[in-house]
Amino acid sequence: MNVFRLTGDLSHLAAIIILLLKIWKSRSCAGISGKSQILFAVVFTTRYLDLLTSFISLYNTSMKLIYIGCAYATVYLIYVKFRATYDGNHDSFRVEFLVVPVGGLAVLINHNFSLMEILWTFSIYLESVAILPQLFMISKTGEAETITTHYLFCLGLYRALYLLNWIWRYYFEGFLDMIAIFAGLVQTVLYCDFFYLYVTKGGKDRKKVMLPFIFML
């Protein structure tokens, strides 16, 4: 494992923990898109089905279980425990516009036409756009809490680090996965303007940082 993958995994984990702590400490899921969190739960479930068939390492298995557990815990907090604080009116993105095309693409373009491989490919494609309901929700409300922007920043950083991981693996291991690289590029592009605004804006301004970002999409 190289340093880019390790730091990418840690950034991804940090994003998930930030979101969970935000919801738990505030006893509210205001400003959080439940639809994005459902999509991420689907991403982890379809990607990590290999937990049932193979063992790579303790680290690999532990991280997969943590991602799946945290994803479903987040969905539970939003739709069950703190449902009264969930803003369903603004969380109105039509997720079928993401799931159906991504599903079709996974069937058409994959490494191997088998159920496990199609589901893995589906998870890669879906992850690249799963954040869109969250961004759409922020565009409708016009602002984002600082904790939410920290969450989004860590997610974007995770994906950027994983792109560096693919570059490292290509040069030092001769390994190249164009599906993962393409999806990673799409996901990173969605965050590029946000990265700039996040770094250059002060703490107070970060509550409004997402509005101009949305209009750039």
For residue 109, give the amino acid letter: I
Using one digit for the tens of pLDDT, what is the confidence trace for 98-123? 999 999 999 999 999 999 999 999 99
* Whole-Å CA distances, 49 to 28, 66, 100, 118, 159: 31, 14, 20, 12, 21
Is residue 126 over pLDDT 50? yes
Mean pLDDT score, 141-159: 76
For residue 83, give the amino acid letter: R
Taking the C-alpha atoms of residue 188 and residue 180, their distance in angstroms, rounded to an integer, is 12
Mean pLDDT score, 71-84: 96
Report, in this order, helix, strand and coil percent for the chain, each rounded to 5: 75, 0, 25
What's the pTM? 0.86
Using one digit for the tens of pLDDT, what is the confidence trace for 25-64? 999 998 899 999 999 999 999 999 999 998 999 999 999 9
